[in-house]
Structure 1
């Protein structure tokens, strides 16, 4: 009996160590210096939360947002962001054995200031959103990881009521539905979450739907959308209002069932809510506030999908734009653009609360993080 227990203990430690040694953290930044390491890759120790540098890439302007292929072999970046009359999407090949990140190619993003990327689960399609003029582009992905030229591009012109920030469309993210058969586009400028059916077998996969968009509250400024692991609920963070709207989801349609602040009620402005993610077990939701607060709002999720605020965690920096939760659900990594630091937090699976671990990483204008077990 003792030998059996010892055997399983050793097997567990081997599995744990293997997972730890194969979890990678990818960091993007706003950086116009071609000599700078504007994309950096670290290995995450999923026991202690320590980050160890693996490799980096130079000669890339403003790789502000990153995403990965389903198998983790290819990295895709929004590049030339915030660059007048420019905007591109770039591909890189990541080889963990050789510790290399190799540039493959880049294509026009179809608009100025690309801010978000998503890869279809089949690994054959890349979708990007362009913020400044409000558009979405769809690119085929080749077998060698390179990005092909644009297959579809839709441009929007409608805005909303805020005369300073909503004179026209500002698509802020491109999010696939849980089954990858619909694509949602939170549009900060129009106070809409646009929707298309996505047919992966078509040369132009975006197809119109009977319900082309969900209207949000006025001056909400919808930014990022995430779905619950049960695939029946969607959660959209609203940058301008500092709120989260909770939706029942079914076959491409969203029905609002709750709206809750990401900040204490005593705060009336300056929160600039940004990113939103749910723990893998579906029990907790996390959302970042920039501006005056620079924190992560923590919510519990009940059996109906409704949110209850249970606390706040400082990101220990300024302007937390993007954060990510590792696939095991043990760690949350936050990036602070203005203070240029990356902080690892250990997540309590029972309470949902966060605690800083390890030593933070410094990276100038760090703007995005993605985590992948490869």
Structure 2
């Protein structure tokens, strides 16, 4: 018998520790412990595996003035114990931590959605936290074409480039990916550089970098939540910043689905760098032509060509409604999907060679756990 551990944040205020247990050909997913100490609305998790510390960003509620950042220790059974809690900008939905060169300083940057904001932290040792060093409130100068979603700035992700010198934050409301440099000694202040400006109505949500093994050329893939396309931009380092050119865009599901009716949510590259996977809310959205037409939303799988373009491989069930986020394990043979509308975590098996998610009929659904609230983030403990 073997077991793999995961953590799941759900927006009812809880974070669950899950165990995927395998015995022979049988797998089960169960809840081993739950903590309510990430406060009112857990939104995203960041795991420091080597130090056994889990960071949980609490989004807060509409009636709150702020959210919170929480750190937890992880015991041998996966139980979480809170170490520290500090304030965070309200409506935080994404965050990333990173080491700054060889200084021993660790930074942590958050992105808030409804009240567009960036929180900048310097993390202490052993999970210690301090209040934000800086809070930035970006905005836009004109409303985008999707007026209900682009009347102001809406930030939704935080990633670093491969050199770990630049912080990129997709702005769904502003049709851009904002770029920042951080202070190399103290994290803050951030300096904003020229952004990647997308087509109007794109609504960039999440992004990932990929380097072609054949040419060494660097690309940025991101999903347009609003226009439901996957974009591939060629990236170059010039004049102390980043420059871009767009080689391709492809519909996550189909060009026949009208914009904003089947929004994309998560995007990830498989550990072997050969495939891109994107989650779609094509069946759970009320405005979708496919609303409740089936028991599950979907995951789109694409192979990556040497020139950064994408080729469709598979359109597979996610296993539930509104797959807000998913995570591939490091081995690349499993994918954990968190569903916001029916409160489940579903574990699927992947065929690493073909890139396909193995169907339930073929035994690919390894486990399902129903949690106490809407699942917004799943993290493998590795």
TM-score (norm 2): 0.84
Q: In the alignment, does 2:73 pair up with 1:94? A: yes
The one of 252, 262, 265 equivalent to 1:274 is: 265
**RMSD (Å) for aligned C-alpha atoms:** 2.2
Partner of 1:120: 98
Q: In the alignment, does 2:380 pair up with 1:371? A: yes
Alpha carbons of 1:72 and 1:372: their partners in 2 closer, same or farther (altered >3 Å)? farther
CA shift at 1:372, angstroms? 3.0
Q: In the alignment, does 2:118 pair up with 1:136? A: yes
Paired positions, count: 346
- SS of the residue corresponding to residue 78 of structure 1 reads strand
Which runs of 5 or more structure 2 residues have no equivalent in the other structure? 284-289, 291-296, 359-363
C-alpha distance in 1 between matches for 2:172 and 2:251: 17
Partner of 2:293: none
Which runs of 5 or more structure 1 residues have no equivalent in the other structure? 1-16, 33-37
- SS of the residue corresponding to residue 64 of structure 1 reads strand
- SS of the residue corresponding to residue 228 of structure 1 reads strand
C-alpha distance in 1 between matches for 2:50 and 2:235: 27
The one of 324, 332, 337 equivalent to 1:334 is: 337
- SS of the residue corresponding to residue 144 of structure 1 reads helix
More divergent stretch after superposition (323-332 vs 116-125):
116-125
Partner of 1:41: 17
Alpha carbons of 1:161 and 1:268: their partners in 2 closer, same or farther (altered >3 Å)? closer
Give matches, 1:231-310, under 5 Å: 232-251=218-237, 252-269=242-259, 270-292=261-283, 294-310=297-313
Task: State the Cα deviation string for residues 249-308 of structure 1 (Å, max 9, x = none).
Answer: 233333221111111233224111100000000111100111426110110111122101
Alpha carbons of 1:181 and 1:320: their partners in 2 closer, same or farther (altered >3 Å)? same
Q: Of Structure 1 and Structure 2, which has the larger fraction of its residues in helix?
A: 1
Partner of 1:28: 9
TM-score (norm 1): 0.86
Does the CA-based 8 Å contact 1:347-1:354 persist in structure 2? yes
Q: Of Structure 1 and Structure 2, which has the larger fraction of its residues in strand?
A: 2
Q: In the alignment, does 2:322 pair up with 1:319? A: yes
- SS of the residue corresponding to residue 126 of structure 2 reads coil
- SS of the residue corresponding to residue 156 of structure 2 reads coil
More divergent stretch after superposition (245-254 vs 220-229):
245-254
Does the CA-based 8 Å contact 1:285-1:300 persist in structure 2? yes
Q: In the alignment, does 2:215 pair up with 1:224? A: no
The one of 149, 159, 169 equivalent to 1:165 is: 149
- SS of the residue corresponding to residue 334 of structure 1 reads strand
Alpha carbons of 1:172 and 1:82: their partners in 2 closer, same or farther (altered >3 Å)? farther
CA shift at 1:351, angstroms? 1.2
Partner of 2:287: none
Task: State the Cα deviation string for residues 17-67 of structure 1 (Å, max 9, x = none).
Answer: 8xx65x4311001105xxxxx101123458866434343211421102212
CA shift at 1:85, angstroms? 3.6
C-alpha distance in 2 between matches for 1:82 and 1:88: 8
C-alpha distance in 1 between matches for 2:224 and 2:51: 30
C-alpha distance in 2 between matches for 1:365 and 1:249: 36
- SS of the residue corresponding to residue 256 of structure 1 reads strand
Partner of 1:202: 186
